[in-house]
Amino acid sequence: MPIQPLPADQPAISFQNVSKTYRGGQVRALDGVSFDIQPGEFFGLLGPNGAGKTSLISILAGLSQASGGAVKVHGHDVVSDYAAARKALGIVPQELVFDPFFSVRESLKIQSGYFGVKGNEAWIDELLENLGLADKAHANMRQLSGGMKRRVLVAQALVHRPPVIVLDEPTAGVDVELRQTLWAFIARLNREGHTVLLTTHYLEEAEALCQRIAMLKQGRIVALDSTSELLKGKASTMLRFKTDAALPAALLDQSRVTGRIVQIKAHDAAEVETILSTLRAAGCPVEDLEIGRADLEDVFLEIMQGAHQ
């Protein structure tokens, strides 16, 4: 079913000066967040834990009400025109929420009924097939593994063919097969015109999938640009290698260490040589040395460290 086109000046999702406070205003989860997501975009919303991502999506979904500002989905205000806004959305939540009394197919038929959708058996079959659930269609939800339950959540979010798909940490703790299956199907839906909003801590997913990215910190937008411009504007040369030795003190401030893997930022070829000379002089042996461009994780850490505290 084709996505109904929006007017040229109307975004698929619009956040305008959105704020959210708790405890009588003592805790501010969102502080004047504003950005638009255009129809057909694959958009990433990134940030550390506590940045405000879940608060923003809860407001978008109508599960929480903003303290200030406005949110619209396909031109429908999520408060004053809730029914139309909710029908335009398909949301895959972080939590594994399911009804233990029904089979997979029954759950999808019931979800269809919530949106007044009838006669969509062919679409349900397509969802089951594309999400690797066809052989589980008649299994009770209680019998499914965590990964299979998450596939059902994705199918439930898509069963009414929403023009806007929101994926809130959809691959957290799931296996590689599900990740590949999910992204192949979501990428197809995006090519067909669906707008996708993704939150994830797997930054390689965001880099590979998202056309534009917004980064949140402490309830504020600290970066908003196309993925390519973020990488171009912040990225520099990165040295990556493995070592069992302690790094020289002179390199500690510019290094990121994960187990045996060390990443060090360098701005040009001369600095690369200086780093290698420092390692040699300190007797620090390296293995599997690679020199390449920074990835989105490097950019994310640099922006978060440089953003206001």
| pLDDT tens for the 309 residues of the chain, in order | 556 667 667 899 999 999 999 877 788 899 999 999 999 999 999 999 889 999 999 999 999 999 999 999 999 999 999 999 999 999 988 777 667 778 889 889 988 988 888 889 999 999 999 888 888 888 888 888 877 888 888 999 999 999 999 999 888 777 787 788 889 999 999 999 999 999 998 898 999 999 999 999 999 999 999 998 888 766 567 889 999 988 988 888 888 888 899 988 887 788 889 999 999 999 999 999 988 887 888 888 888 877 554
- Burial environment of residue 297 by CB neighbours within 10 A (0 to 12, 13 to 18, 19 or more): middle
Tokens of 258: 């994960």
Structural domains of the chain sorted by starting position, each given as residue range(s) with its CATH number in brackets: 13-227 (3.40.50.300), 236-293 (3.30.70)
pTM over cut 0.85: no
Q: Is 284 exposed, middle or buried (0-12, 13-18, 19+ CB in 10 A)?
A: middle
Residues 289/239, Cβ–Cβ less than 8 Å: yes
